[in-house]
Homo-oligomer: A and B are copies of this chain.
Amino acid sequence: MSNPSAAMLVIGDEILSGRTRDANMHYLANELTGVGIDLKEVRIVSDERVAIVDAVRALSSAYDNVFTSGGIGPTHDDITADCIAAAFDVPIDVRDDARALLQAHYDRSGQELNAPRLRMARIPDGATLIDNPVSTAPGFTLRNVHVMAGVPKVFQAMVASLLTKLTTGKPLLSRTLRIDRGEGDIAGPLGEFADEFPDLSVGSYPFQQSTGQYGSNIVVRGQDTNQLDRAMIRLETLFA
């Protein structure tokens, strides 16, 4: 039985412009690997309605889960929730349960639940809320799309509350062997090694040392500890 698949959609002009470096993708990738959900694709698109709607539709039909980050705050450029509703042709409006969460939060902090803040209670029909223990304004799941905030602390808290509810699989394990020789020297036997273990995925990731010499990290991935151990012994013998 294969693991559930996943894609991530990052909504972020600020990443495409190079102004900020995405942190959520790396975090989510590690979390999903740990619970056996296979992240197969990531897309980063700009804060434009057509781009978001198209990507949501494409990814939602291709993978078991889609995780989005960004664009669910109170400002004019936060259009993700409306785009998700549009992608699935469902109505969206302020929902009572989300409004109640926000009302209680702002009452506690003595702030006004003004019109911009109320936008964060706009939830597409049929969605389930995702808990936000950091700053209250909830994310939501509509069909197989999980919509979360872009602020890393909030994103991480939402992922934590979400992952307990998803169908997970067998964690993908990995072992790494660092070889201080260039890929061109090891590629022949490495290819034969990969053929020898067809159930494992064998990747070679070259790096350049400060001396200018090339080396490579050989990463072997699979779900069976015993098989991985056997493969690593073979690999060490090959390149000792």
Chain A interface size range? 35 or more
Which of chain B's residues has its CB closest to A153's CB?
A: B208
A75 near B187 (CB under 8 angstroms)?
yes
Stretch of A89-97, A188-196, A227-235 with 4 or more beta carbons under 8 angstroms from chain B: A188-196
Which of A36-76 touch B at CB < 8 Å? 39-47, 51, 73-76
Q: Is residue A130 contacting chain B, with contact meaning CB distance below 8 A?
A: no
* With A20-B205, A73-B206 as contacts: A117 and B184 at CB distance below 8 Å: yes
Known: A76-B190, A116-B187. A205 touches B16 (CB 8 A): no
Contact B43 A16 (CB under 8 A): no
- What residue in chain B is nearest A27 (Cβ atoms)? B18
A205 in complex: contacting residue of B14, B21, B186, CB < 8 Å? B14
Proximity bits, A171-209, B CB within 8 Å = 1, else 0: 010101000001111111011001000000111111110
Answer whether residue A219 sits at the interface, using C-beta atoms and an 8 A cutoff. Answer: yes
- Identify A19's interface contact among B73, B174, B194, CB under 8 A: B174
Q: Would A73 and B204 be within 8 Å (CB), given that A39-B16, A116-B187, A187-B116 are in contact? A: yes
CB of A165 closer than 8 Å to a CB of B = no
Asked, given contacts A151-B208, A184-B114, A191-B116, whether A202 binds B44 with beta carbons under 8 Å apart, the answer is no
Given A116-B183, A184-B74, A206-B73, the answer on whether A29 and B16 have CB atoms closer than 8 Å is yes
Q: How far is the CB of A238 from chain B (nearest CB, A)?
A: 14
Q: Which residues of A contact B (CB under 8 A)?
A: 13-22, 25-33, 39-47, 51, 73-78, 111, 114-117, 119, 134-135, 150-151, 153, 172, 174, 176, 182-188, 190-191, 194, 201-208, 214, 216, 219, 221
